[in-house]
Amino acid sequence: MTRLELLQSIIDSYDKKTYLEIGVSNGATFFRIKCRKKIAVDLNFAFNTLKKIAWNFINFSNLNNSYYQLESSSFFKKNKERLKSKGGVNLIFVDGMHTFKQSLEDILNSLEILSTNGVIIVHDCYPPNEHAASPREEYPTKAIKLREGWKGAWCGDVWKSIHYLKRSLDEKLHISVLDSDYGLGIITLKRSFDSSYKIDDLLFNEVLKLNYSDLINNPKKMINLKSSDRFKLDNFMNF
C-alpha cells in the first residue's frame, strides 16, 4: 500500500472533507488526492503555475486548493487559530523536513488543529537501511550513497518522533506504523490534545541518542510496527 492509497482510502472510507499536506514538493501525492478542501504547505514548491492549472483539469478536487509557500512552523503559527475555529482539519499528511525535531514539531502542531476523529499520517517512519536513516547532519555524502544497500531514499530520523510520542503521549494517542512505503505512521486521538503540551527535553535528548540498530532490533516496541499483509484500515483507525 502506498501513501497515496492509504490517504485516499481514509478520505473515502471515513468521509474526510479537509486534507493538509506538510511538505508537498512536486505534488506527486497532493495533486492526485481527491478531497473537498486541500491545503498545501512547502517552503519551496517544486512546480509552476502551469502545472497547477493542468492538475485542475486532471483532478477537479484541485480547483478548491490553498497553497502556502512557507516553513511549516510559520504556517501553523499564522493559521492555527483560524483552522481550529473551523472545526479543525480531518486528515493531515506530515512529510516535510525529515529530522526528529522538525517532524515532532509538525506532528504536535498537527495534533492541535486536528478535528475530532481526525487522522495524522507521517511518512518515512521505517527507513529501509542505515543510510536512509541518517540524521540530517550526517546526510550521506556521494560516496556513502554509492555503497551497497543504498537505493537513494532518505527518511532521516522521523522514526524517533514516533518513538518519542509513544513514550510521552501513549495515554492520549493511538500510534502505529504500517510497514509499507518507507513506514506510514498512523496517529489518532484517544482523547483531546492539550495545546499547552511542551516537549520533554530530557526524553527528547534520550531518544535523540538512539540508533538505527535500536529501531531495527525491536520495531514493534519502538514504533509499534504492523505488517502490511492482510491490511485492514479499521484495525488502524481506533475510533
Q: Which of 20, 22, 34 is nearest to 90 (CA)?
A: 20
**Cα 123 to the chain's mean position, in Å?**
5
Q: Which stretch binds ligand SAM (CB under 6 A): 50-58, 76-84, 89-97, 181-189?
A: 89-97
Cα Rg of the chain, angstroms: 17
Please state the closest distance from residue 100 (CB atom) to ligand SAM, in A: 13
Half-sphere exposure of 6 (CA within 13 A, CB side): 29
Q: At 67, which amino acid appears?
A: Y
CB 152, min distance to ligand SAM, A = 12
The phi and psi torsions of 104 (rounded to 5 degrees) equal: -65, -45
Backbone angles phi, psi at 66, to 5 degrees: -120, 140
CA dist., res. 189 & res. 225, Å (int): 18
Q: Whose CB is nearest to ligand SAM? A: 23
Of 125 and 166, which CB lies nearer to ligand SAM in the complex structure?
A: 125
Is 180 near ligand SAM (CB under 6 A)?
no
d(CA 56, CA 221): 43
Quick check: 121 binds ligand SAM (CB under 6 A)?
A: no
Applying the rule CB under 6 A, the residues between 31 and 50 that interact with ligand SAM are: 41-44, 46
CB of 97 to ligand SAM, least distance (A): 3
End-to-end Cα, the chain, rounded Å: 21
Closer to ligand SAM by CB, 121 or 222: give it.
121
- Check binding of 183 to ligand SAM (CB under 6 A): no
Phi/psi class of residue 226: alpha, beta or left (left: φ > 0; alpha: ψ in -120 to 50)?
beta
Q: State yes or no: residue 71 binds ligand SAM (CB under 6 A).
A: yes
Minimum CB separation from ligand SAM for residue 230, in Å?
Answer: 25
Nearer to ligand SAM, 18 or 102 (CB): 102
CB nearer to ligand SAM: pick between 79 and 166: 79
In the list 88, 96, 118, 185, the residue contacting ligand SAM (rule: CB under 6 A) is: 96
Amino acid at site 123: H
Q: Decide if residue 25 touches ligand SAM (CB under 6 A).
A: yes
Q: Please report how close the Cβ of residue 116 comes to ligand SAM at its closest, in angstroms.
A: 25
Closest by CA position to 157, among listed 85, 94, 228, 207: 207
Binding site for ligand SAM (CB under 6 A): 3, 21, 23-25, 28-29, 41-44, 46, 71-72, 95-97, 102
